[in-house]
Structure 1
Amino acid sequence: MSVSEQTAVSDGIILSDAAVAKVKSLLEQEGREDLALRVAVQPGGCSGLRYQLFFDERSLDGDVVKDYSGVKVVTDRMSAPYLGGAAIDFVDSIEKQGFTIDNPNASNSCACGDSFG
Structure 2
Amino acid sequence: MTVQDESAVQAGGQTTAATDAQHGVILTDAAAAKAKALLDQEGRDDLALRIAVQPGGCAGLRYNLFFDDRSLDGDLTVEFNGVELTVDRMSAPYVQGATIDFVDTIEKQGFTIDNPNATGSCACGDSFN
| TM-score normalised by the chain length of structure 2 | 0.85
Structure 2 vs 1, CA of residues 113 and 7 (structure 1 numbering), >3 Å: closer, same or farther? farther
Listed one character per residue, the Cα deviations across residues 62-110 of structure 1 (whole Å, up to 9, x for unaligned) are 0010000110000000000001110111011111010111000001112
Instruction: Name the structure 2 match of 1:43.
Output: 55
Listed one character per residue, the Cα deviations across residues 1-54 of structure 1 (whole Å, up to 9, x for unaligned) are x94222122351111111011001000011111100000000001210000000
**Structure 2 residue corresponding to 1:4, chosen from 1, 12, 16:** 12
Paired letter, 1:97: Q
The answer on 1:56 being equivalent to 2:68 is yes
Equivalents in 2 of 1:111, 1:71: separation in Å?
32
| TM-score normalised by the chain length of structure 1 | 0.93
**Structure 2 residue corresponding to 1:17, chosen from 29, 36, 48:** 29
Superposition RMSD in Å:
1.4
| Distance apart, 1:60 and its partner CA | 0.3
**Structure 2 residue corresponding to 1:93, chosen from 105, 108, 111:** 105
Is the 1:100–1:113 contact (alpha carbons within 8 Å) kept by the matching residues of 2? Answer: no
Equivalents in 2 of 1:94, 1:53: separation in Å?
23
Equivalents in 2 of 1:111, 1:21: separation in Å?
30
Which segments of 5 or more consecutive residues in structure 1 lack a partner in the other structure? none
Paired letter, 2:25: I
Equivalents in 1 of 2:110, 2:123: separation in Å?
15
Is the 2:29–2:81 contact (alpha carbons within 8 Å) kept by the matching residues of 1? Answer: no
Is the 1:13–1:83 contact (alpha carbons within 8 Å) kept by the matching residues of 2? Answer: yes
